[in-house]
Structure 1
Amino acid sequence: MIWNEKIECASRDEMKALQSERLIDTVQRIYHSIPSYRKKMQEVGLVPGDIKSIDDLSKLPFTTKQDLRDNYPFGMFTVPMSEIVRVHASSGTTGKPTVVGYTRKDLNTWAEVVTRTLCMAGVHRNDMVQIAYGYGLFTGGLGMHYGCENLGASVIPISGGNTQKQLQLMQDFGTSVIACTPSYSLFLAEAMEEAGIKKEDLNLRVGIFGAEPWTEEMRREIESKLGLKAIDIYGLSEVIGPGVSCECEHQCGMHINEDHFVPEIIHPETLEPMPAGEVGELVFTTVTKEGIPIIRYRTRDLTRLIYDQCACGRTLVRMEKCKGRSDDMLIIRGVNVFPSQIESVLLDMSETEPHYLLIVEREGNLDSLKLMVEVQEQFFSDEVKKLEVLRKKITHNIQSTLGISVQVKLVEPKTIERTAGKAKRVIDNRKM
């Protein structure tokens, strides 16, 4: 089902005309409401009248997470607080959290775009949706919640964690759709196995997984263990939250709700726009938000855009599954390494679990990369010789893929800490 066929199946010319109209209005509001944006535009000699269409987007300055922190808490809002009906904030793992505010219209927009993404994933009003994303300042739980209600589906707002209760409600309530991080879905699969619950005992048919990068290999693992179709959803609080883009049932890229969020791909170093189809850093401009519109926000996520019409009939541009982040990239002895590359190697091997931890150390003047990886129970043996053979195999496979050596340490199943939120994959001790 397509929720808003007029928009989701619009021609490229129709979409550009709508984006242009909305961008012009957004730039005017931002210029006259936010001193920091006005200063940035003045520094490059821009006035709002210079922006006449979406083709002028690249003339505008970028926005970064640091800009939001520098204007903490409400300095990026374009409306008075009397019009802000909800505030969310990022987790704030470093420095101050980034704060976002929503007007009533913004919340309606958010519900609309999440509803579209749910329809893309194949969710319908007869579904029972168990939302295991966190509720609270994190946008995931409430963002999904209002989209589900807008669609007419039944919502189980259980939030993250409490795994035994999650499994109980899946069984008792007949949950058909689960929404959580992909790493937590695998944790649920482990808990099911321990509890003697088979995937056939559940009613699951769709999983909507986001908030962290995951690979195609991990998708196959999740689908196999939970017996559902695993759909990738993308969002970030600075843009709106979940609902920026989502895969359809064809799983061939995430459709971007580009009438609200205009995407670009730039070179992460030169910051120049890149041709369609090339991999680079994803940048978003919001063109309908009232509370905190944002211009050319650098997401740091690496992907590419696909403009071909999808088999589902939607013409919305698609973004590929993110290949990592420009700021999560590890440079080890001159080689660029993404955790997702390691994950792909491990999930191609039958002996390992999809749970690992990368530890980067600096020994003297040289960087070293250590990998802790869980071995599947049937392969974990007290025989040192067998484990050594497996360790060498993993080391060889990773070196063949990445071109650098990795110190591999095999650990027993369930050794690496699990979390209901984003999985911690990297410890970089060089920064300490």
Structure 2
Amino acid sequence: MYWNERYECMPEAELQELQLERLQATVRRAFFDVPFYRRAFQEIGLEPGDIKSLDDLQRLPFTTKQDLRDNYPYGMFAVPMSEIVRIHSSSGTTGKPTVVGYTRHDIDVWSELMARALVCGGATRHDIIQNAYGYGLFTGGLGIHYGSERLGASVIPISGGNTKRQVMIMKDYGSTVLTCTPSYALHIAEVMAEMGIKPEEIKLRCGIFGAEPWSESMRQEIEKRLGISAVDIYGLSEVIGPGVGIECQEKNGLHIFADHFLIEIIDPVTGKQLPPGQRGELVITSLTKEALPVIRYRTRDITSLIPGPCPCGRTHPRVARFTGRTDDMLIIRGVNVFPSQVESVLLEMGGTEPHYLLIVDRQGSLDTLEIKVEVSETLFSDKVRRLEDLEKRLRHELESTLGISVKVTLVEPKSIQRSEGKAVRVIDKRKI
């Protein structure tokens, strides 16, 4: 039931004592080893010795994704590169990704957290885990992989795509746990049905799904089609990757591993802490990260603290399912997409006007992205071949920048509705 019962079920007073000790160590490391944090502390007249209780957390400055971009690539690291054994990064919104580093100790901690998460989600050392998260700079695939090995389970590092092969391997290899995005899990179920394979013909019994928002109704659909128990997992590269939090079998909120992460829910406008039950923005402070300590990191994810203990026995705080974000980021097939990425490509390419519309939809179980782009007056009256060439080049550049497949539709000048206020850049038709 537990991977590390001592820490997962730690009494509240003991947990808070551990958190304070680790918070003070993190603040010292950030102050002395990261110039960005030293400047930020000095600007408000704060020194590491001023943090004497967990309540003093509110005195510390926030960290944002922009801070990581401004210090690209390694400016936020607290250790020399000779101690960095792994580098991951995001896709980047305007060509500059957020870069995260790990020491050997960080990888060890991450593996431990992922083993905890897998057990919390229903996996055991006797399972065969089919890991269909993407491997590479994205933290999902390798995070699950190392956690599976730490657990002692058998892991199949299949990554995403090639869905018929996924189904064949699932059936032939006897996979018992599936890890991927929820939309891809539904797609696997659809392909499985097309291949004439019924849920009872495979050994799958549980799924651990994340990297994109999904609803309770989508959970029920996945569970019905695959004949499994499905749980939600949460993480973000800037903090460590997957394994920050996960649902247990009660499926009533995600447990945040509070011996490694200190969380707050704040009002996104005022920055003030909110009480349990009130929705706001999740803020995370890392407590054990060596290479990249983050202090009061604004995730932009909207949730609330769930009051009261969980019947599973874990004493760490729980947060409700995430309902959205405070910025304009879209999550499409597990990939972060910003309208500003599209804008930068259009401005660099030429031949178009700076007016565009992102239309997100869901066909079957997979998200689709169509980008409508106004072409310039001169090009619109030109030969069809030139328009086709522009569409092809745009699609190639956008797919290269975004990291997902897109449909590009060229439309005539002035056909996209204008706004006197904030421009409407996104129409999201998904029902999640």
Where 2:424 maps in the other structure, the secondary structure is helix
Does residue 1:36 correspond to 2:22, yes or no? no
Residue 302 of structure 1: how far off its partner (Å): 0.4
C-alpha contact (below 8 Å) 1:106/1:290 kept by paired residues: yes
Cα distance in 1 between the residues matched to 2:327 and 2:404: 16
Q: Which residues in structure 2 correspond to 1:182-221 (within 5 Å)?
A: 182-221=182-221
Distance verdict in 2 for CA 1:33–1:226, change over 3 Å = same
What residue is the counterpart of 1:234 in the other structure? 234
1:430 to 416, 424, 427: 424
What residue is the counterpart of 1:52 in the other structure? 52
Residue 91 of structure 1: how far off its partner (Å): 1.9
Residue 119 of structure 1: how far off its partner (Å): 0.8
C-alpha contact (below 8 Å) 1:252/1:320 kept by paired residues: yes
Where 2:321 maps in the other structure, the secondary structure is coil
Where 2:292 maps in the other structure, the secondary structure is coil
Distance verdict in 2 for CA 1:39–1:221, change over 3 Å = same
Cα distance in 1 between the residues matched to 2:277 and 2:205: 32
Where 2:246 maps in the other structure, the secondary structure is strand
Does residue 1:177 correspond to 2:171, yes or no? no
C-alpha contact (below 8 Å) 1:211/1:422 kept by paired residues: no
What residue is the counterpart of 2:3 in the other structure? 3
Cα distance in 1 between the residues matched to 2:171 and 2:317: 37
Q: Which residues in structure 2 correspond to 1:80-91 (within 5 Å)?
A: 80-91=80-91
What residue is the counterpart of 2:144 in the other structure? 144
The residue type paired with residue 147 of structure 1 is G
Cα distance in 2 between the residues matched to 1:232 and 1:193: 24
Q: Which residues in structure 2 correspond to 1:290-309 (within 5 Å)?
A: 290-309=290-309
Where 2:135 maps in the other structure, the secondary structure is coil
Cα distance in 1 between the residues matched to 2:404 and 2:52: 40
What residue is the counterpart of 2:374 in the other structure? none
The residue type paired with residue 430 of structure 1 is V
C-alpha contact (below 8 Å) 1:23/1:53 kept by paired residues: no
C-alpha contact (below 8 Å) 2:358/2:425 kept by paired residues: no
> How many pairs are equivalent?
355
Cα distance in 2 between the residues matched to 1:422 and 1:222: 23
Residue 94 of structure 1: how far off its partner (Å): 3.4
Distance verdict in 2 for CA 1:311–1:133, change over 3 Å = same
Residue 257 of structure 1: how far off its partner (Å): 0.6
Residue 190 of structure 1: how far off its partner (Å): 1.3
What residue is the counterpart of 1:316 in the other structure? 316
Does residue 1:96 correspond to 2:103, yes or no? no
What residue is the counterpart of 2:376 in the other structure? none
Cα distance in 1 between the residues matched to 2:363 and 2:43: 52
Cα distance in 2 between the residues matched to 1:267 and 1:423: 35
Residue 298 of structure 1: how far off its partner (Å): 0.4
Output one character per residue of 1:11-50: Cα deviation in whole Å (capped at 9) or x when no partner: 1111111000001011011001111111111111111111
Where 2:324 maps in the other structure, the secondary structure is coil
Distance verdict in 2 for CA 1:296–1:371, change over 3 Å = closer
C-alpha contact (below 8 Å) 1:254/1:319 kept by paired residues: yes
Cα distance in 1 between the residues matched to 2:404 and 2:224: 21
Q: Which residues in structure 2 correspond to 1:1-400 (within 5 Å)?
A: 1-328=1-328
Structure 1 gaps of 5+ residues are 330-337, 341-358, 360-367, 377-416
Cα distance in 2 between the residues matched to 1:17 and 1:423: 48
Where 1:312 maps in the other structure, the secondary structure is coil
The residue type paired with residue 78 of structure 2 is T
Output one character per residue of 1:184-216: Cα deviation in whole Å (capped at 9) or x when no partner: 111111111211111111111110000011110
TM-score of the pair, normalised by structure 1: 0.78
Residue 319 of structure 1: how far off its partner (Å): 1.0
Residue 143 of structure 1: how far off its partner (Å): 0.3
Cα distance in 1 between the residues matched to 2:234 and 2:363: 28
TM-score of the pair, normalised by structure 2: 0.78
Cα distance in 2 between the residues matched to 1:10 and 1:156: 33
Where 2:250 maps in the other structure, the secondary structure is coil
Where 2:220 maps in the other structure, the secondary structure is helix
C-alpha contact (below 8 Å) 1:212/1:423 kept by paired residues: no
The residue type paired with residue 142 of structure 1 is L
Where 1:430 maps in the other structure, the secondary structure is coil
Distance verdict in 2 for CA 1:14–1:307, change over 3 Å = farther
Residue 75 of structure 1: how far off its partner (Å): 0.4
C-alpha contact (below 8 Å) 2:141/2:159 kept by paired residues: yes
Cα distance in 2 between the residues matched to 1:181 and 1:280: 24
Residue 6 of structure 1: how far off its partner (Å): 1.3
Residue 307 of structure 1: how far off its partner (Å): 4.0
Where 1:230 maps in the other structure, the secondary structure is strand
C-alpha contact (below 8 Å) 2:212/2:331 kept by paired residues: no
Residue 219 of structure 1: how far off its partner (Å): 0.5
The residue type paired with residue 102 of structure 1 is Y
TM superposition outliers: structure 1 runs of 4+ over 2 Å: 368-376, 421-424, 427-432
Residue 95 of structure 1: how far off its partner (Å): 3.6
| RMSD of aligned residue pairs (Cα, Å) | 2.7
C-alpha contact (below 8 Å) 2:213/2:331 kept by paired residues: no
Output one character per residue of 1:318-359: Cα deviation in whole Å (capped at 9) or x when no partner: 111101111148xxxxxxxx999xxxxxxxxxxxxxxxxxx9
The residue type paired with residue 128 of structure 1 is I
